[in-house]
Amino acid sequence: MTDISSLKSDLRALATQERARSSAWFFKTGPGQYGEGDIFIGVSVPDQRKVAKKYRELPLRDAEHLLNSPIHEERLTALFILVGQFQRGDETIRQEIFRFYIKKAKLVNNWDLVDSSAPYFGQYLNDKDRSVLNNLAKSDNLWERRIAIMMTFAFIMDGDESTTFEIADILLHDEHDLIQKAVGWMLREVGKRIDQNIEEAYLITRYKTMPRTMLRYAIERFEPELRHQYLKGSL
């Protein structure tokens, strides 16, 4: 049995029908929903991480095979493996994985897949040109847009809010709530991890026109009275 066959077998051994039904509902796989057509077999995230650890040296071609799978847990496990290899790798390996990830971004097609991978791969751009994120943010593809803003979390962790604000401006009036939530979340992280005054300086000229969901996420950690003023539009 090949590694990839063994990995798939290990995942299925950990699957339950009850979890599969619950995940299919939670990740909105019904007709017309953002996760339409996604297939779950019912493996918990901790169990997927254990499988990923077991197959941590899986070749990139096999990870690509998994990422092309219609089964959600196989795609997420592939991403866990790639993140681990990226974190352990030298610059050549990190570049190879980053380029692969960007090329296959449309396959990272649910919010948990994006959020479990993009912030890590964003580290590759810390000392490099970041224009690839502008291109992703302008994509017609929902998941590429979410990847763009979620990758900026790596820069926030390094005390740099500039790219987060740049990508947030591109996505400021995005109509999808998964983008609104992600942008608001990253703005909130700027306030939490860098400086709330910096976040407020960004919000003060934009909060009246940005989507309500985005604003609510962005100001979630503010003091109640200040949060009320933002929501009321009275600043």
Task: Identify the band that residue 2 occupies on the pLDDT scale cut at 50, 70 and 90.
Answer: confident
Range 1-105 classified under CATH 3.30.70.600: no
Q: What is the pLDDT of residues 125-158, one digit of tens each?
A: 999 999 999 999 999 999 999 999 999 999 999 9
* DSSP of 1-28: --HHHHHHHHHHHT--HHHHHHHHHHTT
Q: What pLDDT was estimated at residue 44?
A: 98
Q: What pLDDT was estimated at residue 28?
A: 96
Q: What pLDDT was estimated at residue 1?
A: 62
Q: How far are the Cα atoms of 169, 199, 201, 211, 228 from residue 234, in angstroms, in the given order?
A: 22, 17, 15, 16, 9
Q: What pLDDT was estimated at residue 122?
A: 98
Burial 189-212 (b: 16+ CB within 10 A, else e): bbbeebebeebbebbeebbeebbe
Fold entry, domain 117-235: Leucine-rich Repeat Variant (1.25.10)
Task: Identify the band that residue 197 occupies on the pLDDT scale cut at 50, 70 and 90.
Answer: very high
CA angle at 15 for the pair 13 and 53, rounded to the nearest 5°: 70
Task: Identify the band that residue 66 occupies on the pLDDT scale cut at 50, 70 and 90.
Answer: very high
Q: Average pLDDT, whole number, for the chain?
A: 97
* Strand, coil or helix: 39: strand
Q: What is the pLDDT of residues 34-45, one digit of tens each?
A: 999 999 999 999
Task: Identify the band that residue 166 occupies on the pLDDT scale cut at 50, 70 and 90.
Answer: very high
Q: What residue ranges do the domains of the chain occupy?
A: 1-105, 117-235
Percentage of the chain beyond pLDDT 90 is 99
Pairwise CA distance, residues 71 & 113, whole Å? 12
